[in-house]
């Protein structure tokens, strides 16, 4: 059964950096695009970024463009999200999901990023 | 990339039907047949209930149905059950490899 497990969240000061990881199992990771979605406290879901199966094409929401970098290591079945110049409004639960938004998933349980001084 | 508009909350009694709307623009909901709906129980991973406007994944009860008219998509839950109480989010492809979610709707089963 496909499974995703996020890690790497934590408390970071404004302007700081953090790298999230998403370990995949139960499916052929290298055959699927992968997506990051976040949910700020008390807010709705927000699409963050997507990477193609081979890793050659990446796309970002305007809110994170130029600050976040999505990448993947298909040899390790792992997805990453490098987050730089973090702002207070980046505070959220970050989910990774298999495929594009609207695909059947699954999604992970999420990892919490808190940006605060 | 403005969020799609959903009602903050809807409610219904067991056995009744409720419909959740999701309004966007011709650049997202109205422009593509790639609207999906997610059910999210707090503390759990979101689960897709409807994809491509009206398709239902295997294992999702046929009490859940989706439709679209113009720039507005809708999710209807028929025969409400207690376990349907959750937050529901719509999501639409918005072109240029980008997606947009709705603000979410809390469904309460009275």
DSSP helix/strand/coil, B30: helix
Contact list in B for residue A101 (CB cut-off 8 A) is: 36, 91, 93, 99, 101
Cβ contact, residue pair B91, A44, below 8 Å: no
Q: What was the pLDDT predicted at A11? A: 97
Q: A114 CA to chain B: closest CA distance, Å?
A: 17
- Which chain A residue has its CA at the smallest distance from B104's CA? A44
Contact list in A for residue B3 (CB cut-off 8 A) is: 44, 46
Q: Between the CA of residue B32 and those of A15, A86, B26, what are the distances in Å?
A: 37, 33, 8
Which helix or strand (DSSP H or E) is residue B25 part of?
A: none
**How far apart are alpha carbons A69 and A59 in whole angstroms?**
9
**How far apart are alpha carbons A38 and A107 in whole angstroms?**
11
Q: Is B38 on the interface with A (CB under 8 A)?
A: yes
User: pLDDT for B33-54, tens place per residue?
Assistant: 999 999 999 889 999 999 999 9
Q: What was the pLDDT predicted at B43? A: 86
Cis? peptide before A98, omega within 30° of 0: no
Of B40, B45, B101, nearest to A46 by CB-CB distance is: B101
Q: A10 CA to chain B: closest CA distance, Å?
A: 17
Of A50, A59, A105, nearest to B48 by CB-CB distance is: A105
Listed by number, the residues of chain A in 46-65 with a beta carbon closer than 8 Å to a beta carbon of chain B are 46-47, 50, 57, 59, 61-63
| B28, B86, B97, best to mutate vs chain A, most A CBs in 10 Å | B97
Q: What is the mean pLDDT of residues A102-113?
A: 91
Q: What is the DSSP annotation of B15-58?
A: T--EEEEEE--TTTGGG-S-EEEEEE-TTS--EEEEBTTTB--T
Cβ contact, residue pair B48, A47, below 8 Å: no
Cβ contact, residue pair A100, B99, below 8 Å: yes
The DSSP call for residue B63 is T
Q: Is A100 on the interface with B (CB under 8 A)?
A: yes
DSSP helix/strand/coil, A49: strand
Beta strand spans in A13-89 (E): 18-25, 34-39, 45-51, 58-60, 68-73, 78-83
**Is A17:A86 a contact under the CB 8 Å cutoff?**
yes
Strand-by-strand arrangement of the B64-69 sheet: B18-23, B72-77, B64-69
User: pLDDT for A54-103, tens place per residue?
Assistant: 999 999 999 999 999 999 999 999 999 999 999 999 999 999 999 998 88
For residue B1, is pLDDT > 80? no
User: pLDDT for A9-37, tens place per residue?
Assistant: 999 999 999 999 999 999 999 999 999 99
Q: What is the mean pLDDT of residues B54-69?
A: 96
Token couple for B49: 């209930």
């Amino acid at each position: 059964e496909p499974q995703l497990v996020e890690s790497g969240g934590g408390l970071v000061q404004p302007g700081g950096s953090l790298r999230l990881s998403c370990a995949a199992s139960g499916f052929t990771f290298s055959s699927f695009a992968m997506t990051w979605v976040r949910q700020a406290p008390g807010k709705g879901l927000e699409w963050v970024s997507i990477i193609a199966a081979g890793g050659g094409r990446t796309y970002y929401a305007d809110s994170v463009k130029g600050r976040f970098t999505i990448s993947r290591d298909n040899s390790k079945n792992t997805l990453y999200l490098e987050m730089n110049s973090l702002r207070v409004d980046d505070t959220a639960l970050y989910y990774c999901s298999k495929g594009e938004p609207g695909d059947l998933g699954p999604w992970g349980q999420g990892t919490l990023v808190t940006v605060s001084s | 990339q403005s969020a799609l508009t959903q009602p903050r909350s809807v409610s219904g009694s067991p056995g009744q039907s409720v419909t959740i709307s999701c309004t966007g623009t011709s650049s997202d909901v109205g422009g593509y047949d790639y609207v999906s709906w997610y059910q999210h129980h707090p503390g759990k991973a979101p689960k897709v209930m409807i994809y491509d406007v009206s398709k239902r994944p295997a294992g999702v009860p046929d009490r859940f149905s989706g439709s679209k008219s113009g720039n507005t998509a809708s999710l209807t839950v028929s025969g409400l059950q207690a376990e349907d109480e959750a937050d529901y989010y719509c999501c639409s492809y918005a072109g240029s490899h980008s997606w947009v979610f709705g603000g979410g709707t809390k469904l309460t089963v009275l």
